[in-house]
Amino acid sequence: MYTQAMDTLGKDAEDRKPVRSAEQAMLEARFDARIDDGAFIEAKDWMPDHYRKTLVRQISQHAHSEIVGMLPEGNWISRAPTLKRKAILLAKVQDEGGHGLYLYAAAETLGTSRDEMLYALHTGKAKYSSIFNYPTLTWADVGAIGWLVDGAAIMNQVPICRCSYAPYARAMVRICREESFHQRQGFESLLTMMQHGTEAQKAMVQDAVDRWWWPSVMMFGPPDDQSPNSAQSMRWGIKRISNDELRQKFVDAAVEQAKVLGVTLPDPDLKWNEERQHHDFGAIDWDEFWNVIAGNGPCNRERIAARVKAWDDGAWVREAALAHAEKQQQRFKEAA
């Protein structure tokens, strides 16, 4: 899923050094013209250093979000209430692993190795979507994640299918198809509990919605006026729609869906604004957002520890694959 807050870390002054040589300025002007024409940039094409760095940061954060995103829901695979729900959840969590794979591969085309990216994740240098630092306390959380978190992810990600960097855009086309299944299965799971469940199950759904609503609204990242890299990303066609615009679209859609479900969204200020033709909503607790981004959310440490353990446990597989590749190469040489 999950691209939120990708523009929260680009305060690196090194990234913004002005173009120095005349040749570079010419290359950059040509690049800008291609972007203005709506052309896609391929891995082999010349691109400004800052464009490359911005993409590596965004795509790798996105990839990390996919694989860290497997953890909160993976927590419920062994406890899914029916065989059908277990099969759906297994497929969904597996999809997220696949999304990570497409995205790491897309980032690798920019000249960064997967090992480097994972090292950055494991050492806390790279970020991932803050939403996955919240715990999944009940089965209804799995439905709420599908409905709200995958729902927010779709809003965020559909515009990236037209991202100017072609390998990223191509990966996103495949990912978005699967995300819409993720959103629907979550909604359907909640709807089943709300329509056919016991009072306790209905209360469990409402409690999950209460806990996941605000973190989902935060997934679109900081407000536009506090999102310093957004303008440049828009200029380059990496980002097509602003954080606040996407957030508004998400809120408007979710309000209608909540009515169908029969749940209340935990925001007393949420109401239709006839003049704007959108829903107004309450103030977002940005202190909470920044605190979770900074590593102090309820599950940050647990998530990274789980990823590091998976990496360590997989060492023998990587070693075996390398040994196999070396043997094959040796055989090929001998045959030649």
Q: Which residues bind Fe ion (CB under 5 A)?
A: 1, 66, 96, 99, 150, 179, 182
User: Measured from the CB atom, is 66 or 108 closer to Fe ion?
Assistant: 66
User: Measured from the CB atom, is 35 or 103 closer to Fe ion?
Assistant: 103
User: What is the C-alpha separation between 15 and 131, in angstroms, rounded?
Assistant: 27
| Minimum CB distance to Fe ion, residue 223 (Å) | 25
User: Measured from the CB atom, is 182 or 279 closer to Fe ion?
Assistant: 182
| Minimum CB distance to Fe ion, residue 304 (Å) | 19
| Minimum CB distance to Fe ion, residue 154 (Å) | 8
User: What is the C-alpha separation between 253 and 285, in angstroms, rounded?
Assistant: 21
| Minimum CB distance to Fe ion, residue 161 (Å) | 14
Residues in the chain: 336
User: Measured from the CB atom, is 95 or 267 closer to Fe ion?
Assistant: 95
User: Measured from the CB atom, is 178 or 288 closer to Fe ion?
Assistant: 178
User: Measured from the CB atom, is 99 or 279 closer to Fe ion?
Assistant: 99
The answer to whether 261 and 46 are in contact (CB under 8 A) is no
| Minimum CB distance to Fe ion, residue 285 (Å) | 25
| Minimum CB distance to Fe ion, residue 100 (Å) | 8
Longest dimension (CA), the chain: 77
| Minimum CB distance to Fe ion, residue 316 (Å) | 28
| Minimum CB distance to Fe ion, residue 281 (Å) | 24
- In this structure, the number of other CB atoms found within 10 A of the CB of residue 147 comes to 30
User: Measured from the CB atom, is 41 or 169 closer to Fe ion?
Assistant: 169
User: Measured from the CB atom, is 142 or 204 closer to Fe ion?
Assistant: 142
The answer to whether 220 and 173 are in contact (CB under 8 A) is no
